[in-house]
Structure 1
Amino acid sequence: MNNISTKFIRIGLLVLALTVSNSCKNYLTVEPIDRLTGNNFYLSKADVEANIAFIYSRFFEKINETWVMGAIGEARSGEIKVSPGANNENARRVVEALGRNDMNSAIYSTQYEMYNLAQVTRWKKYYEVIQSVNILLEKLEEGIPGVSESDYVRYKAEATFIRCFTYFWMVRLYGDVVYYTDTYFRESLPRENMVSVLNKCIAELTVQKDLMPWAFDDIAQRGARPAKGGLIALLMHMNMWNATFDFLNTRKYQEVTASLGRELITSGYHKLYPLTDESWAEVMKGRTEESLFEFYRSINYGDNVAALAPFWDHFLRWPYKFPRFNNNMSHCYFTSTYMETIYPEAEADKRRDLWFEDILSDNGQFVLRKYGTNVYASGNEDKNPDITFMIFRYADAILLHAEALAELGNRDDEAKASLNLIRNRAGANPYDGGGGAELKDFIYLERCRELIGESHRYFDLIRTKRILSAQWTNAPMNLDQFNRGAWTWPIDPAARNNNPNMTLNEYWISTGW
């Protein structure tokens, strides 16, 4: 363990030094491979493990720069408001600017500068993750002492997952992206159509899926390192994204998603935990059989999580956050209109009872108790609960499976069966309504209920095109805005440096970038 820690620190210091050094004049100003990792670095399996840990840590650095999970996946749908009298109330009104799609204000107004949202427009660190993966894959192909054939297969599959996940993440933020698998990033390439990028990712990850084990021997790696279930979840999400934007092949993507979902559900390697205080605390802490992929963090391990980074920072008050004198109210709340829509008071649902307090208050009494477990701090320590950053959860994949089946049009009974796995766990009445649009709408609302705060809401609006209707969001856009990319984030103009083929997102240029 000490050897791994030493290697990890050495990589981090080396990359930091390279970041501030004089750079080459190519697209991402990357350094030659021998300077980036050292020709003598990959000498053992421990070196590979340390490098993979560094790659995950590098990605998490982007999440840790600002309120990414809330800003990209939740607030832009318009249902989040700032509590009157909240700490830093004026600055926190950035959530309402995001909910109006007033991105230039949210990103650049001095009123909101504590959020540092300009970092979301900067994609270079994502490409550093991708390049690190490309280097690792090249070294694996060359051969590394101590890495067995089975190790090689697993590491290659995991590295492919990380690269594909990073591209998927960027596609949902920026639309079209520059696609590289070359180690050196030598060429100044233009942005590639996002459907094409995801299809390339789908193709390479599909090959790797069956080479990855369903579970690791070390249960401490569960969820924190993607096993086969994590690869399946990513494939399902990429297919369902392309199902919207590649309309000539929509049915093909839906059929693939349905097949993947069935494979995951019948495998028996993942489960839904009971909705009790104790069991849900386990899920939120991380590394459970319900987790498919997460960024596991632990204060006890010394992991540094910025105060504003967790989604849940905005929706907890005392006694879920300490100290009481400056956490006597939640900073933000979901509007009562929205909460009543997804959790009608007259309908039984354990999630409503377990995950919320003062659910219809429209003020700082609102608590998203879903994230209020594992309270670490006490006394005068001002810290968030010590819980994981969940990316893909088993319940999410089950509902994607139900959605794909409902969209296919001739498999409604199967769709209802998957949907009711989630309803039954929640102690809610099983869905026994009609098929077609009624079933699709219900599955969509079930995703809103089950995945609230998990950074799926806004992306679900986009890929189902419900973003075009005020029935489904407080921040609808028209078809012209949608087609011109009003759902994307602006891209920082620095992305054009040394790349004459690079273009920015047209919508944000035309609206006064």
Structure 2
Amino acid sequence: MKKVIIYTLLLVASFCLPSCKKFLDIQPLDKLSGNNFFQSKEDVVANIYDLSRIVFGKYNETHFIGATGEYRSGEVQYESQSDHAPARAFVEYLGRNDLLTVLNNSFPWSSDINYNFNSITDWRAYYQAIQGANILIAKLDEGVPGVTETEKNAFKAEAAFIRSLSYFIMVRLYGNVVYYTDAFHATPLPRENFVSVLNKCIADLKTHKNNIAWTYTDPSIKGVRANRGSIVALIMEMNMWNAGFDPGNANKYYQETADLGKELIASKAFRLLPISEWATVIKGRSDESLFEFYRSINYGDANSSVSPIADMFIHYPYKRPEYTHRVSFAYYRGEYMQKLFQDGSDRRITAWFNEDIFADNGKFMLLKYAQNAFATGEENANPDNTFMVFRYGGEILLAAEALAELGQDADAITMVNMIRDRAQASKYSGGGGSALKDFIFYERSRELIGEGHHYFDLVRTKRILSNQWSYNVLTADKFNRGAWTWPLNSNARNNNPYVVLNDYWVNGGN
């Protein structure tokens, strides 16, 4: 434990020393530690957990999932009768894409309740994780005592996953990013086109994919540590993102996504749990989890009080004390919920929501995240749930989308109905073509509601350009100028004159 603590402090210090004026302020690990840290398999495992914690730290320092993936298309409203209501009005500013107001520190969500939204604009922690993964891969190639060749390759696959996941998150937030994979990088580089970056990540992950097990028999690390299913999911997600921005090669991306989806299903390493067992899924470490940031109060996990999306959409008795949680802080528009859940046979309605699913006020509750609520006590705490990154159900639908784009409608419908069957909803029985594609989009919106995918699906499919799909429509001009991104913090230019900030936001967000 002392070794882990010392290494963690050294790793953090390597990114923070003000005397270092090189690119990203990085000091070589061996200069700080005497090159003595990676002396056993246990050291490698501890390092992998530390890298994962760095990425989770970005989720935990603000209301990340909601702010980046759920609210920016206008489906969510705040409840004016809730406790500290003005501090939750940020959801409607996000819904109008008014990020500059959201980032203004004079508003209640910064002064009354500190949501720390400016942290979303800061990419440095992602590069800390990337640098740490690069160093780990280099040290494994040098050789670590007690690590076999098979173990080395599996550890490298985990490190490559964390590295590529960091790049993927940044691409969806900022667009173009600086890309590098060498261990002790110090040369300033310009931001690279994000399609190129993701293609490099895909090629990198392909070299590691088959060197790691599909999943783990140890239930304590299932979904928590990256596995082949995690890597497959990430490659699928990156392919589908690129398909939306590189139309000349779209079919290549669709075909690879479809093939990987079939491979994922054929592995039989994962399964859709019955909807009646949803509490097991959202608790974490289930057979449905491909990758997650597992959190449990039993382990003393310290979540920021504002980071879980459950905080916005539940009230007493799932949130306590009663006098400050008589209504939810926010709700999904009833009109939007009608679009998603017209089929009354869908068991997700009763499993994931309260009876006021179309309430258009604070009576609405998203019980999808309230399955593991505290039964007693008056503490102001969120339910004890995990932060899901990739889930089996989401990747099945992503493969279905790719198949539909390829015109393989029968296979696409088969996959869609896997999700419908689990939800005990009526099977899809419509036609192919655009009707099927639209249905799959809505099915992803249903299945993944609150998991932080909806806005990114709107962006990559360009549905954000149509009022049929979004309350916050971006014009083609705004979209092409990067209105879908987040502003990039000016600290990205520290010691790197080649970095330029996001023009759309530098020019006032209009």
State the TM-score, normalized to the length of structure 2.
0.97
Query: What SS class does the counterpart of residue 81 from structure 1 fall into?
Result: strand
Which residue in the other structure is 1:162 paired with?
162
Mapping of residues 292-303 of structure 1, within 5 Å: 292-303=290-301
Residues 38, 172 of structure 1: CA spacing in aligned structure 2 closer, same or farther, 3 A cutoff? farther
Aligned-pair CA distance for 1:377: 6.2
Which residue in the other structure is 1:87 paired with?
83
Mapping of residues 91-102 of structure 1, within 5 Å: 91-102=87-98
Residues 35, 331 of structure 1: CA spacing in aligned structure 2 closer, same or farther, 3 A cutoff? farther
Which residue in the other structure is 1:402 paired with?
400
Which residue in the other structure is 2:284 paired with?
286
What is the letter of the counterpart of residue 183 of structure 2? T
What is the letter of the counterpart of residue 462 of structure 1? V
Which residue in the other structure is 1:189 paired with?
189
Which residue in the other structure is 1:467 paired with?
464
How large is the Cα RMSD of the aligned pairs?
Answer: 1.3
What is the letter of the counterpart of residue 505 of structure 2? W
Which residue in the other structure is 2:384 paired with?
386
Mapping of residues 398-437 of structure 1, within 5 Å: 398-409=396-407, 411-437=408-434
Which residue in the other structure is 1:212 paired with?
212
* 2:357 aligned with 1:359: yes
Query: What SS class does the counterpart of residue 333 from structure 1 fall into?
Result: strand
Aligned-pair CA distance for 1:469: 0.3
Aligned-pair CA distance for 1:217: 3.2
What is the letter of the counterpart of residue 416 of structure 1? I
What is the letter of the counterpart of residue 9 of structure 1? I
Instruction: Answer with 214-223 or 389-398: which moved more.
Output: 214-223
Q: Percent identity?
A: 51
1:207, 1:18 → 2: CA distance? 29
Residues 377, 299 of structure 1: CA spacing in aligned structure 2 closer, same or farther, 3 A cutoff? farther
Aligned-pair CA distance for 1:328: 1.5
2:14, 2:203 → 1: CA distance? 33
Which residue in the other structure is 1:150 paired with?
150
Aligned-pair CA distance for 1:38: 4.2
Aligned-pair CA distance for 1:512: 5.8
Which residue in the other structure is 1:478 paired with?
475
User: Of 37, 41, 65, which residue of structure 2 is paired with 1:45?
Assistant: 41
Which residue in the other structure is 1:56 paired with?
52
Unpaired segments of 5 or more residues in structure 2?
A: none
Aligned-pair CA distance for 1:275: 0.8
Which residue in the other structure is 1:24 paired with?
20
Query: What SS class does the counterpart of residue 453 from structure 1 fall into?
Result: coil
| Conserved 8 A contact 2:98-2:509 | no
What is the letter of the counterpart of residue 98 of structure 1? L
2:135, 2:12 → 1: CA distance? 17
| Conserved 8 A contact 1:322-1:377 | no
Aligned-pair CA distance for 1:178: 0.3
| Conserved 8 A contact 2:233-2:390 | yes
1:222, 1:423 → 2: CA distance? 25
Which residue in the other structure is 2:129 paired with?
129
State the TM-score, normalized to the length of structure 1.
0.96
Instruction: Answer with 127-136 or 369-378: which moved more.
Output: 369-378
User: Of 317, 320, 325, which residue of structure 2 is paired with 1:319?
Assistant: 317
Aligned-pair CA distance for 1:109: 4.1
Instruction: Answer with 111-120 or 443-452: which moved more.
Output: 111-120
| Conserved 8 A contact 1:71-1:98 | yes
Which residue in the other structure is 2:229 paired with?
229
What is the letter of the counterpart of residue 380 of structure 1? E
Which residue in the other structure is 2:453 paired with?
456
Residues 17, 209 of structure 1: CA spacing in aligned structure 2 closer, same or farther, 3 A cutoff? closer
| Conserved 8 A contact 2:403-2:411 | yes
1:260-288 per-residue CA deviation (whole Å, 9 max, x = no partner) reads 00001111111101111xx1111011001
What is the letter of the counterpart of residue 215 of structure 1? T
1:359, 1:37 → 2: CA distance? 55
Aligned-pair CA distance for 1:18: 4.5
| Conserved 8 A contact 1:312-1:371 | yes
Aligned-pair CA distance for 1:295: 0.4
1:138, 1:206 → 2: CA distance? 18
| Conserved 8 A contact 1:407-1:440 | yes
Query: What SS class does the counterpart of residue 110 from structure 1 fall into?
Result: coil
1:169, 1:391 → 2: CA distance? 11
Aligned length: 505
Aligned-pair CA distance for 1:17: 4.2
2:10, 2:202 → 1: CA distance? 33
Residues 172, 187 of structure 1: CA spacing in aligned structure 2 closer, same or farther, 3 A cutoff? same
Query: What SS class does the counterpart of residue 293 from structure 1 fall into?
Result: strand
Unpaired segments of 5 or more residues in structure 1?
A: none
